[in-house]
Amino acid sequence: MRPTRRTCIAAGAALALTAGLAACSDGGSTDDGGPVTLTMWHGLTGPDGPAFQEVVDAFNDGQDEVTIEAEALPWDSLYQQFLTAATSDDGPDLVAMSASRLPQYAERGVLAPTDDFYADDTYMDTSVLAEGAVQASVYDGVNYGVPLNLGPVLMYWNKAVFEEAGLDPEAPPTTWEEFEEMIPDLTVDEDGDGTPDQYPIAMGDHSTVPVFPSFLWNGGGGVVSDDGTTALLGDAATVETAEHWVNLVREEQITPVGMSGADSDQLFQAELAAITINGPWMTAGLTEAGLDFDVTVPMAGPEGQSILGDVVSMTVSQRLDENETDAAYQFFAYWESVESQATWANGSGFPAIRTDMPEDAVTNEWAAVFGAPEVLENVRPYLTGVPGSGEINEDIFTPALQSALNGTGEVADLFPAAGEEIQAILDGGS
């Protein structure tokens, strides 16, 4: 039978559909030991993005067995899209995510354990990696990730503003007491309307790096205990520390209330605040803006000087087969190599994750500051290994803090009540 015109069109359409579907399926992954292509999502959309891609390109060009196709998305979009992608089994093979987010997915079986990567020296000697960064991706005794970056949150100060205030531009506050003595000098109310035109410090209270929780640590308290089992918001030390800082905000107006992280960055960049506490990702923008600034460890509290450290981990989808997992581990090992870590640190300003970097490998001054031994030794991740971390921080802690800062409630009432809600989550309720 001769094919009719209609049959030809139908066959062509079917062929096109098949080809289309093939193109939609996961990369070029194979399970026969051949070349493997892995898709990877990450949220490095700032100046750190090109540095990451440079390492990925070097890895892809250096061998022909594994190809990493990295795709950058804003962090919030990444988390929202990954959720639906994971349910349809059509998502990325590898995902970079904040270590504090990881338990949410690990708990539900979306991610595969990466313990094999650390088991022996098959891929690399993992003992050279910063311990805090490795431990950040442990949930329920199982490691679900390999650190992509470690971002210690340090104190930035504007030297020009310090000088204008009659303070030594090379002597930022080293303790809370020193900071409090500087408050009158660093506060400027030009029009005398009672609202400062320049603030001593810029601190966001939502959608930002959790600076307030790090203050609670250094005052002897915290949001949740290190083992993730006990809420600490109702503890006397936490309440006392929170009251201290809330009073500084409400009475002394050390920072505007209600700022997001982006608002806080803008305030510091516009030289309307003398100090801010932030990660290494901010150095490039401030340098470009021509600010006369420097970075040091945050001022110490009466009970210590823990430094908040944000860790982004590279995680593996549970659906990867043995061959693909092996390919992923090859990339992870390459990422953690001295050469790649030097490229990353010099390009992004983030410190290297390896503790054995040769002295001359890192030439970026900010990477050296953020990767200094006294910084890395005191780095403490926030809410890692806690399944309800997002809910605890954003739905309970942040509103309680905002109510206190806005004066719609008192710390002594708000924090213990919030602590009870957090405890219910930690105990497995909701």
Partner 1 sequence: MRFGRTVAGRQARAAWMFLAPGLALLTLFTAWPLLRTAYLSFTEYSLLTPPEWVGLANYRELLGDDQVMNALQNTVIYAVVVTPVTIALALALAMALNAKFFGRGIVRTAVFVPFVVSLAVVSIAFRFLLDPNYGLVTHWLDMVGLAPTQGALAQPGTAMAAVMAVGVWKNVGFYMVMFLAGLQSIPRDLYEAAQLDGAGRLQKFRTVTLPLLSNQTMLVSILAAIASFQVFDQIKVMTNGGPAMSTETLVVMVNRVGINNLEFGYGSAVSVLLLLLILLLSMAQYFYFGRKQVRY
Cα gap 378→300, rounded to integer Å: 12
Sign of the torsion formed by the C-alpha atoms of 381, 384, 385 and 389 = positive
Residues 200, 349, 388, 419: which binds partner 1 (CB under 8 A)?
Answer: 388
Token pair of 9 as six digits = 């069109």
Tell me the C-alpha distance between 127 and 123, whole Å.
12
Q: Is 160 in the site for partner 1 (CB under 8 A)?
A: no
Give the whole-angstrom CA distance, residue 91 versus residue 178.
50
DSSP 372-392: -HHHHTTEE-SSTT-TTHHII
Among 135, 395, 416, 424, binds partner 1 (CB under 8 A): 395
Shortest approach of partner 1 to residue 257 CB, angstroms?
5
Residue 36 interacts with partner 1 (CB under 8 A)?
Answer: no
Q: How many C-beta atoms surround the C-beta of residue 3 within 10 A?
A: 10
Among 49, 113, 169, 399, binds partner 1 (CB under 8 A): 399
The residue among 54 and 107 lying less far from partner 1, judged by its C-beta, is: 107
What are the two backbone dihedrals, phi and then psi, of residue 178, each rounded to the nearest 5 degrees?
Answer: -60, -40
Site for partner 1 in 99-138 (CB under 8 A): 104-105, 108-110
Among 149, 293, 403, 422, binds partner 1 (CB under 8 A): 403
CB of 106 to partner 1, least distance (A): 11
Using rule CB under 8 A, residue 394 touches partner 1: yes
Q: In angstroms, what is the minimal distance from the CB of 402 to partner 1?
A: 4
**Which of 86/307 has CB closer to partner 1?**
86
CB of 124 to partner 1, least distance (A): 31
CA dihedral 193, 194, 198, 200 (to 10 degrees): 170
Q: Is 217 exposed, middle or buried (0-12, 13-18, 19+ CB in 10 A)?
A: buried
* Residue 300 within binding range of partner 1, rule CB under 8 A: no
144 to 79, 101, 126, 131, 397: CA distances (angstroms): 17, 11, 14, 15, 26
Q: What are phi and psi of 376, to 5 degrees?
A: -60, -30
Give, in degrees to the nearest 5, the angle at Cα 175 between 174 and 177: 130
* Least separation in angstroms between CB 100 and partner 1: 13
- Rule CB under 8 A: is residue 258 a binding residue for partner 1? yes
Among 154, 267, 274, 369, binds partner 1 (CB under 8 A): 267
How many residues bind to partner 1 according to rule CB under 8 A? Answer: 37
Terminal-to-terminal C-alpha distance of the chain: 67
- Do residues 197 and 189 lie in contact, with contact meaning Cβ atoms separated by under 8 Å? yes
Instruction: Please give the DSSP secondary-structure letter assigned to residue 188.
Output: B
- Which residues ranging from 181 to 220 are in contact with partner 1 (CB under 8 A)? 194-195, 205-207
> Strand 273-278 relative to strand 199-202: parallel, antiparallel, unpaired?
parallel
The verdict on 247 binding partner 1 (CB under 8 A) reads no
Q: Which two tokens stand for residue 119?
A: 């088991």
Binding residue for partner 1, selected from 4, 141, 166, 408, defined by CB under 8 A: 408
Closest separation between CB of residue 55 and partner 1, Å? 31
How far is 36 from 144, CA to CA, in rounded Å? 21
Q: What is the smallest separation between the CB atom of 408 and partner 1, expressed in angstroms?
A: 5
Q: How far is the CB of 103 from partner 1 (least distance, A)?
A: 12
Minimum distance of partner 1 from residue 335's CB (angstroms): 27
Encoded amino acid at 427, one letter: D
Q: Is 232 in the site for partner 1 (CB under 8 A)?
A: no
- Give the other-Cβ count within 10 Å of 90's Cβ: 11
Instruction: Output the CA angle 104-109-110, nearest 5 degrees.
Output: 75
Which CB sits closer to partner 1, 283 or 403?
403
Among 398, 411, 419, 422, binds partner 1 (CB under 8 A): 398
Dist. CA 420–CA 232, nearest whole Å: 9
Stretch of 134-142, 211-219, 261-269, 374-382 lying at the interface with partner 1 (CB under 8 A): 261-269
Q: By CB under 8 A, is residue 83 in contact with partner 1?
A: yes
| Contact window for partner 1 (CB under 8 A) among 78-86, 153-161, 236-244, 322-330 | 78-86
105 or 293, CB closer to partner 1? 105
Binding site for partner 1 (CB under 8 A): 80, 83-84, 86-87, 104-105, 108-110, 194-195, 205-207, 256-259, 263, 266-267, 270, 272, 388, 390-391, 394-395, 398-400, 402-403, 406, 408, 430
